[in-house]
Amino acid sequence: MYRFVITATTSMAVLFFIFFLTVAEAVDPAESWQKHYNLWFIISIIIWLTVTVPLVYFVFRYKKKREDEDGAYIEGSTFLEITWTGIPIIITIVLGVQSWALFNQYRKVPQDAYEVRVEGFQYGYEMIYSEGIKTLNELRVPVGPVKLSMISKDVIHNFAIPKYKVREDMIPGRMTYQWFLAKEPGEHMVYCAELCGPGHSQMLAKVIVMEKNDFNSWVESYKIESSALSPEERGKNLVKNLGCTSCHSLDGEEIAGASFKGYYGGASILEDGSTVTVDDAYIEESIKNPKAKVVKGYDPFMQPYSLPDEDIKAITAYLKTLK
Ligand code: CUA
């Protein structure tokens, strides 16, 4: 029995030491999660070796040597039973407590975090900054802690930034949030991590971390630029940023969808043989509900986009210029 007590106490002491070592100075969630992962990984390897090495050894050591050989009769061992129940329990508790501690830390947003509102839609993200500007699929932030307040305009999406080891659902009608620590300038990918429709894999964005001064001057120049932009120019940016051109060419080439060149004002023949004129109303309908009037010869796989009216107007204005 005394051996059990010694084993249990020692392993508990070691595990708690590791626990405090990894949790104590954690300030950056990404770093804490990495350390936590490493700890799980090391413990898993130790458990695997503890089981596999003796297993392989015993297989050879106690192999049946003669036909009439009988195995030894072994009674249970209380010491072993308690040890191999006790140690896994302690490991599980320690890892569980640490996960919980990290989770709570991760839910607490630092006071000085820079906040951006992110609205998900099929298929993209609109970033709305407190400075009164908006970007599409591009999240610009200054170095430091960043808080994202998130919501979805249609179905459930998930805003995942592997670099910062964070992800959180974007839910229609409910604000969710997450934060991360942007330590240095750089560009990182954002993925939608919740199957949200056929365009799910294309729902990508970038986080662009900038030095504070660079960020402030970007905000100023962006404000000036966007207020100076004509609807046509805004529409051009939207068509580019929303990825429309992967199906609709601008030069008359036929890809998966009708080319935008000379599109506006023309007439299209629909599946049922009727004709529509490509005007403001038809463009608006085709963006919001693409399957309503599919042009003959094209597959109806374009997904609806829930864009604000001003964006649809800008896109229409741009299409008018593509003669
Ligand atoms: Cu949005 Cu997947």
- Give 25's pLDDT tier (boundaries 50, 70, 90): very low
Which of ligand 1's atoms lies nearest the C-alpha of 170? 1
Per-residue pLDDT of 173-224, as tens digits, reads 899 999 999 999 999 999 999 999 888 998 999 999 999 999 999 998 887 8
Centre of ligand 1 to C-alpha 28, Å, is 27
- Give 149's pLDDT tier (boundaries 50, 70, 90): very high
pTM of the model: 0.67
Centre of ligand 1 to C-alpha 203, Å, is 6
Centre of ligand 1 to C-alpha 193, Å, is 6
Average pLDDT, the chain: 86
Which of ligand 1's atoms lies nearest the C-alpha of 123? 1
241 close to 307: Cβ distance less than 8 angstroms: no
Return the pLDDT at 105. Answer: 81
Of the ranges 35-49, 116-130, 140-154, 257-271, which one carries the lowest mean pLDDT score? 257-271
Q: Would you say residue 23 has pLDDT above 90?
A: no
Per-residue pLDDT of 120-138, as tens digits, reads 998 899 998 887 788 899 9
Distance CA 71, CA 85 (A): 26
Which of ligand 1's atoms lies nearest the C-alpha of 199? 2
Q: Would you say residue 40 has pLDDT above 80?
A: yes
Return the pLDDT at 206. Answer: 95
Percent over 90 (pLDDT), the chain: 38
Residues having CB within 6 Å of any atom of ligand 1 = 123, 157, 192, 194-196, 200, 203
